[in-house]
A and B are shown apart, each in its own frame.
Chain A
């Protein structure tokens, strides 16, 4: 029971008011504070402990940790150049696939779909965002891989002069050439991860688009805009922060994704720029593959790789939330 007390002294002096919260409230606040402190401790411990365990390897490797592409910690030659490039490339492909799809779907749900269909579609997309990644991995390995090979082959045959799309060991003139040079590539892993993050990006964008004020929409219509004109001049500028923020959150998920990528790619330790070429790498697959057989020093090196991944996703996520929070639409969105 809070009791309001006043200091009675000089009657003309402004009185200081303070409330005594009472014992139960003090205990209650203490419990809440310690709960917050516990969570904070766990979260800081994750980062701190990773860094602490990684220090052994980082200290020994120094800056070459970022430039070496081999992974032989016990021989002293190890670095994350290859896995980092692989991770970023897979995430880039994923974002390039997911963002147009997600933007289109979000615009459709918020602007074009009839009201009755809208509720169903929102539920469907939100459900898809909760589908386990192993299910996407299964789809990628057993269905998508075979279906995508002709496309990959076509791209490498006709666009192979662009360095990113060239494939070593492929012969576009030979129709019977084995297609195994195209399997397990960055491209396929990126497609699967793109499908995985598209609903996440879509649901954030949809949320933001639907908050564009009705008055401004009708203002645009009143000035003679078509529906697309209204979207371009009202909805998209209003939702720009949410679009960028949602994309970056999707990027964060794509960078950290493990199992769907691990199921598809075959790990190599060369820097693999050719997205259609078989064999690529990612930090999380490296950890999943090597944690079991690692020596103590190897474990420390894996920790260092995990720490690098952690820092990367942290930066992306911080950037995303600050962009979302600063945009006009961001205050109320739960992105």
Chain B
């Protein structure tokens, strides 16, 4: 086997061998077209907006304090918002025609909806984090379980170690079940197409909406009542697996389907078998996407309470044995803590929820960092490594060509 003379890497005249890759592919808009930015903000728009806001606030204040028997913050905001829209429409209509007025009102409504959703959601998350600070400042919260802490003990005694460890044990077992089964099934869906695969895909897609409590009920009925397993970490992990499996398969299936068909065909054209194509081409290409799929599935699994509620039992002690005895995880511990009327227990519940949120946040950030790019899109470092590898190949080819005696095996089809 010799290198064709026109291969750029093998040209001795070019000095040292060079190999270049095309630059990173640009993130194209769907359909290959780019949307143009259309923003035009005129001074009159700003005047109309601020004027309407100011007059709406003033008018509402007047209504609420002087004219009408209304009170309450929610009512104030709603009335002020309605008045703002009215006055804004009026102001705009002084110098625009009908469609433009509708456009401005729609823009105002859409913007405020977007703002409202983001603000509320941020608030929900921050509320748990802020309320959890009372418990989180005590170091013992991370190093002790609740074995010796009664409901009346101060926050300097007891903690959520048992729940954190329980979460880790359960999720590790659940991942040990779901990752192999999920990835094999996702590869199956794309690589062995046919009516059977379509049927499996339909069932899996339907199962992504499986209510988590039904997953818990299923394991409770089969493993605990049927097979006589304890209420234990293992049972909870199995329930989480049943819930996570369709989520991971679906996300992984979407990612694997995005692998360009040309890559696969190139591999087949080299005479590679299916299994080597999957192992050396398809899976490495979408490795980052698969990792993201698994991590997002994990985040969902970590946060679920109801399957664990049915299958894990409840304990306030650290339990390292997933096979015997009850075990709690973070969401279940949160739930059990806040059922108590004692303020310290509620503070512990918020602390546990904050810990859980932090864990989910961490997983999410990791997933974003790993999976921010599509299949085949490389980081700079990966690209650099590829360039180095192809330079090495080119050098090897050149050396081989320069060598006097043929050392190349000539039998065809030997896997490289």
Interface of A toward B, CB cutoff 8 Å? 1-2, 21-22, 24-25, 27-29, 31-33, 35-36, 38-40, 42-46, 49-50, 53, 100-105, 107-109, 111-115, 121, 123-128, 130-139, 141-143, 147-148, 150-151, 154, 195, 198-199, 202, 210-211, 213-215, 217-218, 221, 226-229, 231, 249, 252-253, 255-259, 262-263, 284, 287-288, 291, 299, 302-303, 306, 309-310, 313-314, 316-318, 321, 332, 334
Is the CB–CB distance between A105 and B118 below 8 Å?
A: yes
B220 CB, nearest partner CB in chain A, Å: 7
Contact partner of A46 among B127, B214, B310, B413, CB < 8 A?
A: B214
A306–B217 Cα gap in the complex (Å)?
A: 8
A132 adjacent to B103 (CB under 8 Å): no
Per a CB cutoff under 8 Å, which of A39, A131, A134, A255 touches B200?
Answer: A39
For A217, what are the chain B residues with a Cβ–Cβ distance below 8 Å? 35
> In the complex, what residues of B have CB within 8 A of residue A31's CB?
184
Q: Give B residues with C-beta under 8 Å from A.
A: 29-31, 33-39, 72, 74-75, 99-100, 102-103, 106-107, 109-118, 120-125, 127-128, 131, 181-182, 184-185, 187-189, 191-192, 196-197, 199-200, 203-215, 217-218, 220-222, 225, 242, 245-246, 249, 254, 271, 273-275, 278, 296, 299-300, 302-306, 309-310, 331, 334-335, 338, 346, 349-350, 353, 356-357, 360-361, 364, 368, 413, 415
Look across to chain A and name the residue whose beta carbon is closest to the beta carbon of B29. Answer: A214
| A130 & B100 in contact (Cβ 8 Å cutoff) | no
Distance (Å) between the CB of A191 and the closest chain B CB? 10
Q: Is A108 within 8 A of B110, CB to CB?
A: yes
Question: In the docked arrangement, what's the CA distance between A114 and B114, Å?
Answer: 13
Which of A22, A100, A126, A258 makes the CB contact (< 8 A) with B213? A258
Contacting residue for A53 out of B199, B221, B350, CB 8 A: B221
Interface pair A111/B214, CB less than 8 Å apart: no
Closest to A258 in B: B306
Q: Is the CB of B110 within 8 A of A36?
A: no
Q: Is the interface of A mostly helix, strand, loop or mixed?
A: helix
Q: Is A135 a contact partner of B125 (Cβ separation < 8 A)? A: yes
Residues in B whose Cβ lies below 8 Å from that of A124: 118, 121-122
> By the criterion CB–CB under 8 Å, are B214 and A228 in contact?
no
Given contacts A112-B110, A229-B103, contact A130 B200 (CB under 8 A): no
With contact pairs A36-B197, A313-B209 given, residues A226 and B100 touching in the complex (Cβ less than 8 Å): yes
Across-interface contacts of A258 in B (CB, < 8 A)? 211-213, 305-306, 309
* Other-chain contact of B303, A107, A114, A133 (Cβ < 8 Å): A133
Question: Contacts A36-B188, A39-B185, A135-B357 hold; do A228 and B107 have CB atoms under 8 A apart?
Answer: yes
CA separation between A154 and B287, bound complex, in Å?
55
Point out the residues of chain B lying under 8 angstroms from A112, CB to CB: 107, 110-111, 114
> Could you say which residues of chain A place their CB within 8 Å of the CB of B114?
104-105, 107-109, 112-113, 121
Point out the residues of chain A lying under 8 angstroms from B360, CB to CB. Answer: 130-132
In contact, B206 and A32 (Cβ under 8 angstroms):
no
A125 to B210, CA, bound (A): 23
Complex Cα gap A280–B38 (Å): 49
Chain A residues near B181 (CB, 8 Å)? 35, 38-39
B294 to chain A, nearest CB (A): 13
Given contacts A39-B204, A228-B103, contact A128 B214 (CB under 8 A): no
Residues of B within 8 A of A49 (CB): 218, 221-222
A sample of 30 cross-chain residue pairs with beta-carbon separation below 8 angstroms, ordered by A number, consists of A25-B273, A25-B275, A32-B191, A35-B181, A36-B189, A36-B196, A43-B203, A44-B203, A46-B242, A104-B110, A105-B113, A108-B114, A108-B115, A112-B110, A112-B111, A128-B124, A130-B300, A131-B125, A132-B331, A134-B335, A136-B124, A138-B353, A202-B117, A213-B33, A214-B35, A226-B99, A258-B305, A258-B309, A299-B221, A317-B209
Please give, as numbers and ranges, the residues of chain A lying within 8 Å of B302 by CB-CB distance: 132
Residue contact A291 to B125, C-beta cutoff 8 Å: no
Residue contact A134 to B356, C-beta cutoff 8 Å: yes
Are B191 and A125 touching (Cβ within 8 A)?
no
CB distance from A132 to the nearest CB of B (A): 3
With both beta carbons as reference points, the residue of chain B lying nearest to A103 in the complex is identified as: B113
What is the minimal beta-carbon distance from A147 to any residue of chain B, in angstroms? 8
Residues of A within 8 A of B184 (CB): 31-32, 35-36
Complex CA distance for A32 and B204, rounded to whole angstroms: 15
Complex interface: chain A residues within 8 A of B218 (CB) = 45-46, 49-50
Bound form: Cα–Cα A40–B199 in Å:
9
Query: Which of B124, B192, B210, B349 is A310 in contact with, Cβ under 8 Å?
Result: B210
A256 contacts B221, CB within 8 Å? no
Pair A46/B215 contact, Cβ less than 8 Å: yes
- Tell whether, in the assembled complex, residue B361 and residue A284 are in contact, meaning their CB atoms are under 8 Å apart: no
**A139 engages B128 (CB within 8 Å):** yes
Instruction: Choose from B36, B213, B221 the contact partner of A288 (Cβ within 8 Å).
Output: B213
A81 to B100, CA, bound (A): 50
- Residues in A with CB closer than 8 Å to B103 are 226-229
A25 touches B274 (CB 8 A): yes
For the complex with contacts A105-B114, A128-B125, A228-B107, 20 further pairs of A-B residues with Cβ separation under 8 Å are A2-B273, A29-B192, A31-B184, A32-B187, A36-B185, A36-B188, A36-B196, A39-B182, A101-B116, A104-B109, A104-B113, A132-B356, A134-B335, A135-B303, A138-B127, A202-B117, A258-B211, A284-B211, A306-B217, A313-B210
Q: Pick the contact of A134 from B36, B127, B189, B353 — CB < 8 Å?
A: B353
Which residues of B have CB within 8 Å of A125? Answer: 117-118, 121
Q: Among the listed A100, A211, A303, which residue makes an inter-chain contact with B30, where contact means beta carbons less than 8 Å apart?
A: A211
Specify which chain A residues have a CB less than 8 angstroms from the CB of B415 in the assembled complex: 1
Check A138 against B334 for contact (C-beta < 8 Å).
yes
The reply to whether A303 and B221 contact each other, CB–CB distance below 8 Å, is yes
Q: A14 → chain B, closest Cβ, in Å?
A: 24
Report chain A residues within 8 Å CB of B246: 43
Residues A256 and B368 in contact, CB atoms below 8 Å apart: no
In the assembly, what is the distance between CA of A22 and CA of B415, in Å? Answer: 14
Q: Are A134 and B187 in contact (CB under 8 A)?
A: no
- Is A291 in contact with B217, judged by CB distance below 8 angstroms? yes
Please, which residue of chain B has its CB at the minimum distance from the CB of A252?
Answer: B209
Task: Given A28-B275, A46-B218, A252-B209, check contact A128 B299 (CB 8 Å).
Answer: no
